[in-house]
Every structure is written in structure tokens, then in C-alpha cells.
């Protein structure tokens, strides 16, 4: 897959085949993420790869999935839930710049996963204090985002948004549609 196809075809995945992602693949994803741009090259991000079953379950239970179509895209533990998460942690006193650092890293990670036939769901909606406790983080670190990683068990589709409507939805076949605004509507040239 070339970069254009990768970028256009990647979709967030919220249903997963119950097959563990090999550690080498997870290592590759973090490896790709850690090459991303970051402010002043300070590299404040750290990664926790979570794939011990009991821990994954506890983390999973803190996550909230696809609010606009809830509960239809909330996976069920043991049926189609992810078998691993990657947590991004930052210093507890970090400023806003880490949000951009994490964004660059996670998008890189998601594209690297997609290239290898893996899907991701990026989480801002979860309980960071509970997850920090489960991961036994010191007070000096906090969990900024989670990313679920696994083999896709759904095939969401991207489409052009009509009349500015960007509300994602499930169709009658239970396929998730993700409308994206046309690039010429969101770009000005000077």
C-alpha cells in the first residue's frame, strides 16, 4: 500500500478478531511512532504496551466507544473487544505541547498498523486515573491517551460529507460510515 492509499483507507476500528497481535508487531508500531515530530525534540512520550489479559480487561472497562452510535460500536469483552492497548504517558506537569506530540505519534502508529493489516481506536474517553493505577505509574507520570490495537473485525467506510454533515453513522448493514469534509471546502488559497 502506498502512502496515499494508506492515508485514505485507514479507518478507526472498534471490533476486533480474537487473535493476539504478536509482540514484534506491537514493537514495530511503537518504533514507528517514536520517529514522529515532537516539539523541540524533547520526546516526553512514553509507551506502555498492555497485553496481559487481566490488565487489558480492566483498562477496557474504563473506555468509552463511539458515543454517536453507542452502544452499537461498543465491543463485548471476549467476543470482539481488543486484546491489547498501548498507553501513552507524559509527565504529570506537562504543558499543552504534548497533545501535539502525541497526535503526531498516534497518527503515525495508526498508519503503521494499517499497513500491517491491523486496526486501532484512539481513546481520549477513558478513566486516566484508574488506568494509571492499574499500570502502577508513579505520581510524576499520567496517561494521556490509549490506543486499542488488533485485527479488524469490521470494515468502516469513508465518504464525502454532504452539506457539512460530519455525523458518523451505521447503515442498515451495520457498516460504520465516516463522512469527511471535501478538501476544497476546508482550504483557502492565497
The residue ranges that bind ligand FMN (CB under 6 A) are 11-12, 64-66, 121-125, 156, 168, 178
User: Could you tell me the smallest distance in angstroms from the CB atom of residue 46 to ligand FMN?
Assistant: 18
Residue nearest to ligand FMN (CB): 125
Shortest CB 190 distance to ligand FMN, Å: 28
Whether 103 and 74 have beta carbons less than 8 Å apart is answered as no
Shortest CB 57 distance to ligand FMN, Å: 17
Closest distance of CB 17 from ligand FMN, Å:
18
Q: Which set of grid coordinates corresponds to residue 28?
A: 514495530
User: Residue 70 has what DSSP assignment?
Assistant: T
Sign of the Cα torsion 15, 168, 36, 133 reads: negative
Written as nine digits, the cell of 121 is 481506536
Of 60, 132, 51, 58, which is closest to residue 90 (Cα–Cα)?
A: 132
Residue closer to ligand FMN by CB (options 18, 125) is: 125
Amino acid at each position: 500500500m502506498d502512502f496515499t492509499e494508506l492515508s485514505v483507507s485507514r479507518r478507526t476500528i472498534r471490533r476486533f478478531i480474537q487473535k493476539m497481535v504478536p509482540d514484534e508487531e506491537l514493537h514495530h508500531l511503537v518504533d514507528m511512532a517514536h520517529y514522529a515530530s515532537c516539539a523541540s525534540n524533547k520526546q516526553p512520550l512514553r509507551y506502555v504496551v498492555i497485553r496481559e489479559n487481566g490488565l487489558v480487561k480492566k483498562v477496557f472497562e474504563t473506555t468509552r466507544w463511539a458515543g454517536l452510535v453507542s452502544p452499537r460500536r461498543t465491543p463485548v469483552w471476549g467476543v470482539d473487544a481488543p486484546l491489547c492497548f498501548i498507553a501513552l504517558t507524559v509527565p504529570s506537569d506537562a504543558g499543552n505541547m504534548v497533545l501535539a506530540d502525541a497526535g503526531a505519534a498516534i497518527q503515525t502508529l495508526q498508519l503503521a498498523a494499517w499497513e500491517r493489516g491491523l486496526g486501532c481506536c484512539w481513546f481520549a474517553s477513558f478513566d486516566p486515573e484508574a488506568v494509571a493505577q492499574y499500570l502502577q505509574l508513579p505520581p510524576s507520570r499520567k496517561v494521556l491517551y490509549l490506543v486499542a490495537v488488533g485485527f479488524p473485525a469490521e470494515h468502516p467506510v469513508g465518504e464525502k460529507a454532504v452539506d457539512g454533515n460530519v455525523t458518523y453513522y451505521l447503515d442498515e448493514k451495520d457498516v460504520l460510515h465516516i463522512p469527511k469534509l471535501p478538501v476544497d471546502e476546508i482550504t483557502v488559497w492565497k
